[in-house]
Amino acid sequence: MKIRQGAFSFLPDLTDAEIHTQVQYCIDNGWAVSVEYTDDPHPRNTYWEMWGHPMFDNPDAAAAVFEVNECRKQFGDYYIRVIAFDSTHGWESIKLSFIVNRPKDEPGFHVSREEVKGRSMRYSIKSYATDKPEGKRY
Amino acid sequence: MPDGSEKLTAKARYSAGVLEYKKMGYWEPDYEPKDTDIISLFRITPQDGVDPIEAAAAVAGESSTATWTVVWTDRLTACDKYRAKAYRVDPVPNSPGQYFAYIAYDLDLFEPGSIANLTASIIGNVFGFKPLKALRLEDMRLPIAYIKTFNGPATGIVVERERLNCFGRPLLGATVKPKLGLSGRNYGRVVYEALKGGLDFTKDDENINSQPFMHWRDRFLYCMEAVNRASAATGEVKGTYLNVTAGTMEEMYKRAEFAKDLGSVIIMIDLVIGYTAIQSMANWARDNDMILHLHRAGHSTYTRQRNHGVSFRVIAKWMRLAGVDHIHAGTVVGKLEGDPATTKGFYDVMREEYNPQSLETGIFFDQHWASLNKMMPVASGGIHAGQMHQLVHYLGEDVVLQFGGGTIGHPQGIQAGAEANRVALEAMIFARNAGDDYMQNGPEILARAAKNCTPLKQALDVWKGVTFNYESTDAPDFVVTPTTS
């Protein structure tokens, strides 16, 4: 399966030139671009590891694409995403997030069900990959 | 020339009998509204022969302290303060016989934090008043002092996105169809297919509650099975608006609790449950970290006609105070009423921190929202993937685009329909961000994306050229005059 998180997961994988266009859009809007990576892609895993701080004051989209590639060198078989932070009052959160790298094999998730009272069910979603410890998953 | 606003002596003012409203203190052309006043803008259509100023004063009177005759008990109160004051009456452009009446109300006329109390005054008796042929509440200016008595949307756009882990593109949804008749099991099938195919949300329709063909518990159980399966299949947070609308508050709370126990991220209510019930459900949603979707069922009975009723922009303002997170607000290009400029005004009321006066979009007053959370507008009704460039252009990014027929009616099935919509959306957002003139090149961008996505190609073929071009009944009265260079 292909994990569909982020704004562009239904498009073919983005080239570096395509990543550049999106990063440029973020910079033009005054947002700080950041690179993050993980080997735990659970939909509610909020905190991916930070590949350095958000690039405040960076005017150059190429610098962000460079960092993506540096991250890929070390974590080529991880999920890597680019996110952009908007510090404007009233938002102060993420404005864009998209995946730029994924493992060759994405085993996906299984749903576990616990039957509870009545016909109710407690659901839990678990990544097959996270059965193994961090760093040994993909 | 006397205009009726001259002060009478107390003896003349309070003699028993009938006095014109404008002579009773409800018309004050020199009045300067205070920052703390609530201001209403009414469109009044007086009966033939009725002076528009007297009609405006009557509206001020009947929506505040007045009755049809002089009462001495006024003199036991600080009645000058409590009288609403009509202070300005303008003819409506290009609409003979209609007038815009500006009326200011002192803050002390209203109970804090109660839409029911506000509306009981502003749209209470006055809409049936005989000297008027018709009356419409066009807009309101709500002072910060009043706004601060409300909690506002339970979740808001930003936190909703954080919870869903979805940034930078409109959310996608679909209403399950047929809206009536599916069993719980069959209903959940539609939810599963649509969410797995690429939508973020599915939705109960306004009139799906608990009917003989499907008990509400059955629907909730099957829908949550579908939501969790789809979430696992895509790695995304998914939701389905479980409609908890019911005959009593007790029943609604019961259904909402069950939705929460099953792990739903969102519940839904209908506008027809009433303002107080909406505020109660908003409090419940805030206490339970639940996104609250409002379907505006019934609104067109009073929002659509330009001469009588309440403009939807006012309903939107009340709902932002009342505290819903999602609200249906028009599509511009779809099958339901929605002039582009008017719709932009609605969206601005929902999504902005501050609305400057903008007559061309129907916003009559500067409105500060005092950091109240923003509402996510929902665009639903007769839209399809081929309109994606127009939807992004008119409605922007913080919106739920709901393709019901445009998902479920896809020739290759529901998953394919959902995928077509998602691919079309992502391609359009990508192109917009990359600096493409996407409004101009929209059809090409879609065609290019369809090369990698057969479902999109099929969707574009099936719904090619489907448009709903009818004249809007609710359009602004002021238009921008293009400047000549």
Q: Tens digits of per-residue pLDDT, B60-112?
A: 999 999 888 888 898 899 899 999 999 999 999 999 999 999 999 999 999 99
Condensed to tens digits (0 to 9), the pLDDT of residues B260-272 reads 999 999 999 999 9
Return the active site residues of B. Answer: 177, 295
Instruction: Please count the other Cβ atoms lying within 10 Å of the Cβ belonging to residue B307.
Output: 16
Q: Is B158 on the interface with A (CB under 8 A)?
A: yes
Contact B202, B430 (CB under 8 A): no
**What is the share, in percent, of chain B residues with pLDDT greater than 90?**
82
Condensed to tens digits (0 to 9), the pLDDT of residues A74-114 reads 999 999 999 999 999 999 999 999 999 999 999 999 999 99
Residue of A nearest to B397 (CA): A95
Q: What is the mean pLDDT of residues A15-26?
A: 98
Contact B222, B188 (CB under 8 A): yes
Q: What is the mean pLDDT of residues B212-228?
A: 97
**Rounded alpha-carbon distances, angstroms, from residue B308 to A13, A40, B38, B46:** 53, 57, 21, 12
Cβ distance of B225 and A121 shorter than 8 Å: yes
Cβ distance of B167 and A4 shorter than 8 Å: no
Question: Residue B82: which of B74, B90, B93 has the closest Cα?
Answer: B74
Cβ distance of A125 and B232 shorter than 8 Å: yes
Cβ distance of B235 and A120 shorter than 8 Å: no
Cβ distance of A97 and B167 shorter than 8 Å: yes
Question: Residue B64: which of B90, B99, B25, B30 has the closest Cα?
Answer: B25
Q: What is the mean pLDDT of residues B400-407?
A: 92
Mutant choice from A1, A10, A88, A119 vs B, greatest count of B C-beta within 10 A: A10
Q: What is the mean pLDDT of residues B390-412?
A: 94
Residue B484 pLDDT = 47
Mutant choice from B157, B167, B453 vs A, greatest count of A C-beta within 10 A: B167
Q: Give A-chain residues touching B449 at CB under 8 angstroms.
A: 11
Nearest to B235 among A41, A92, A95 (CB): A41
Distance from CA of B430 to the nearest CA of A (A): 7
Distance from CA of B125 to the nearest CA of A (A): 38
Q: What is the mean pLDDT of residues B345-367?
A: 97
**Which has the higher per-residue pLDDT, A90 or B477?**
A90
**What is the share, in percent, of chain A residues with pLDDT greater than 70?**
100
Residue B49: which residues within 8 A CB-CB, separation 6 or more? none
Condensed to tens digits (0 to 9), the pLDDT of residues B315-336 reads 999 999 999 999 999 888 876 6
**Would you call B102 helix, strand, or coil by DSSP?**
strand
Condensed to tens digits (0 to 9), the pLDDT of residues A124-133 reads 999 999 888 9
State the Cα–Cα distance between residues B242 and B203, nearest whole angstrom: 7
State the Cα–Cα distance between residues B413 and B238, nearest whole angstrom: 20
Residue of B nearest to A42 (CA): B235
Residue of B nearest to A107 (CA): B233
Q: Is A59 on the interface with B (CB under 8 A)?
A: no
**Rounded alpha-carbon distances, angstroms, from residue B285 to B267, B292, B326, B372:** 8, 6, 12, 16
Q: What is the mean pLDDT of residues B161-176?
A: 97
Given a cut of 90, whether residue B353 has pLDDT beyond it is yes
**Would you call B9 helix, strand, or coil by DSSP?**
coil
Q: Give B-chain residues touching A94 at CB under 8 angstroms.
A: 161-162, 167-168
Q: What is the mean pLDDT of residues B209-222?
A: 97
Mean of the per-residue pLDDT values for chain B?
93
Q: What is the mean pLDDT of residues B179-207?
A: 96
Cβ distance of A125 and B231 shorter than 8 Å: yes
Question: Which band of pLDDT confidence, cut at 50, 70 and 90, is reported for residue B337?
Answer: low
Given a cut of 80, whether residue B482 has pLDDT beyond it is no
Q: Is A130 on the interface with B (CB under 8 A)?
A: no
Given a cut of 70, whether residue B485 has pLDDT beyond it is no
* β-pairing verdict for B99-105 and B85-91: antiparallel
Distance from CA of B390 to the nearest CA of A (A): 19
Greatest extent of chain A over all pairs of C-alpha atoms, in Å: 58
Angle at A44 between CA A39 and CA B292, to 5 degrees: 160
Residue A72 pLDDT = 98
Instruction: Give the dihedral sign, CA B229/B234/B235/B241.
Output: negative
Q: What is the mean pLDDT of residues A16-43?
A: 97
Poorest-confidence range of A101-105, B153-157, B338-342, B455-459? Answer: B338-342
Poorest-confidence range of A110-114, B64-68, B244-248, B456-460? Answer: B64-68
CB–CB contacts below 8 A, A to B: 115
DSSP H stretches of helix in A32-133: 61-75
The DSSP 8-state label assigned to residue A102 in this structure reads -
Q: Is B370 on the interface with A (CB under 8 A)?
A: no
Query: Phi, psi (5° rounding) for residue B260?
Result: -65, -45
Q: Is B449 on the interface with A (CB under 8 A)?
A: yes
Residues facing A96 on adjacent strands: A84
Q: What proportions of chain B, in percent to the nearest 5, are helix, strand and coil?
A: 40, 15, 40
Amino acid at position B157, single letter: I
Nearest to B236 among A22, A43, A89 (CB): A43
Q: Is B96 exposed, middle or buried (0-12, 13-18, 19+ CB in 10 A)?
A: exposed
* β-pairing verdict for B354-355 and A49-50: unpaired
Q: Is A52 on the interface with B (CB under 8 A)?
A: no
Cβ distance of A10 and B422 shorter than 8 Å: yes
Instruction: Please count the other Cβ atoms lying within 10 Å of the Cβ belonging to residue B301.
Output: 10
Nearest to B233 among A1, A93, A120 (CB): A1
